[in-house]
Amino acid sequence: MRRIGGLALLLALAACRSGGGVEDAPDVPAPQPGVDVQRIEAVLSFDPETMTLVGRATLTIAHPDTVGRVWLGLSGAMEVGTVEVGRQPVAAEREGAALAVPVSGVTSVVTLAYRGVPDVGVYREETPSGLVVWTDGWPTRAAGWLPAVHHPSDPLVLDLTLEVPRRWDVVASGTPAGETVENDSRRARFVTSESAPTYTLAWAVADFAFTDQSGSVSIRHVTLAQDSASVAFLSRTPALLDTLAAFLGPLPYGRFATVEVPLVYAGMENAAAPFFQTELYDAPAALEEVVIHEAVHQWWGNDVTPADWRDLWLAEGPATYLTAETVRRLDGLEAFRQSLVQMALLDRRSAARRLVPARLADPEDALTATPYQKGGAVLHLLRLTLGDEVFFRALRQTLRTYDDRPLSTAAFQSELEEVSGRDLDAFFQRWVYGTGVPTLRTRWDRATGTLSWEIESGWGLERVGAELLVRQSGATDQYVPLDDGVASLPGDENPEVFPVGWLAEVR
């Protein structure tokens, strides 16, 4: 039986990550060499009815003593009042969504007061459960409400206090660190225990239903009232988190929450509290697979961040492939193989495209099937090439070495080579930096019931254990080793041939 899971939905909706609305992402300043926003303490007062936000953010920033000024991204819709450095007022320069703050020395504490109605990054929608307001930071939309360096190479710790009218519930990235209700206001504080890129820092306000779940870490499911019964679909969340921790290490951020909001795409990997699309709560299998995908991101993409938007495959490739691996450990080999076949069903252009683009004018241009599915397929081929023990040991070492640090593709290759003791330059030149895919030529002889095939040489696919799925109408699916080159089939119909987790043009 063919599994119809969340991977298909997730991949189909990846290109919709243009945000909660139709606005373009702010044109924020590029990161400056040596400038590192390490921590932000933000206090926001927000009215969901009027969408008015009043904020005060204190940033701890390390920087070279020669930098002169640091550039931060904050939407032009936010009116900046006072700017202080070390509690001393300074004159900042403003150019659209760019804010230049004068600094000296090697560390500065910068405090900004601002207010306005966000024009990007904060969204609202009426639902059967009432009004929902949520944020979406991808790729730079967090600049709609948070001043920061909005680039994956500069992850930070966020200490967020959000004040709303008392009838509203609040959820946010990080671990809850206290909530008070006084008079007509609710104040809730959340702290990320480890760094995360700004596009994974988010909050939501609505009339939520909360369900806590027992597990080895703190787990909470946050739904809209209309879907509170759908929490039953998430019963395996403790098992999937424990499964991931068994081969990746302890869960970053120390807790995990699922949050339902009206996203236009399947899920968003917000640190410690991923957001999920409302439509998924009517699709149990899809919901669970997307939860696994966003859970993997807590390690790959959040705790270890891509060094550049061009390295996005280092977040989406592991999230896609390790979702399939988690399915294998929970549901068995057949489920794993089906997930791999689905992952490798990639259109010709996306399969042939470089995993690391030579140039990328806009980070949203990276949101194709390539970093997801091709990224996952390349990881599967690395696993076949290196063997299970070395492959997973290399993943764990990379997570330890680059904990709270940006990871480039070159650095990932170095980690794999160090652990395996192998030169992987040819592999990376072919599959990561190169274009095209190998050709798999097949021949069906109906008279003898024989299917034969030949893979184009030079791609490193021979003698690594790669498999093919052979599907024939009216017959049971067969998984056959690529190296066999021939298989006998029981039926007369022309068979279909699918690579299992690796890429090829089948002819």
Q: Is 347 helix (H, G, I), strand (E, B) or coil?
A: coil
Q: How confident is the model at residue 163 (pLDDT cuts 50, 70, 90)?
A: very high
Instruction: Give the span between the Cα atoms of 229 and 231, in whole angstroms.
Output: 5
**Is the pLDDT at 231 greater than 50, yes or no?**
yes
Q: Which two tokens stand for residue 304?
A: 């270890």
pLDDT tens column, 442-486: 999 999 999 999 999 999 999 999 999 999 998 999 999 999 999
Domain ranges of the chain: 16-299, 305-431, 439-506
Contact status, residue 102 vs residue 85, Cβ threshold 8 Å: yes
pLDDT tens column, 236-295: 999 999 999 999 999 999 999 999 999 999 999 999 999 999 999 999 999 999 999 999
Instruction: Give the span between the Cα atoms of 457 and 438, in whole angstroms.
Output: 8
The pLDDT value given to residue 474: 87
Q: Cβ neighbours of residue 239 under 8 Å, at least 6 residues apart?
A: 330
Query: What's phi and psi for 436, nearest 5 deg?
Result: 85, 170
**Is the pLDDT at 12 greater than 60, yes or no?**
no
pLDDT tens column, 244-254: 999 999 999 99
**pTM greater than 0.85:** yes
Q: Which two tokens stand for residue 254?
A: 């120390």
Length of the chain: 507
Instruction: Give the span between the Cα atoms of 359 and 213, in whole angstroms.
Output: 44
DSSP string for 167-233 = TSEEEESSEEEEEEEETTEEEEEEE-SS-B-GGG--EEEE-EEEEEE-SSSEEEEEEEGGGGGGGGG
pLDDT mean across residues, the chain: 94
Question: Own/partner pairs for 224-227, CB < 8 Å, 24+ apart?
Answer: 224/127, 224/128, 224/129, 224/132, 224/260, 224/278, 225/129, 225/130, 226/127, 226/128, 226/129, 227/129, 227/260, 227/278, 227/281
Contact status, residue 192 vs residue 272, Cβ threshold 8 Å: yes
> Which class in CATH covers the domain with range 16-299?
mainly beta
Distances (CA, A) of 198 to 71, 140, 261, 278: 15, 8, 19, 23
**Is the pLDDT at 2 greater than 50, yes or no?**
no
CATH superfamily, region 305-431: Neutral Protease Domain 2 (1.10.390.10)
The pLDDT value given to residue 21: 47
Name the residue among 300, 239, 301, 230 with its Cα closest to residue 259: 230
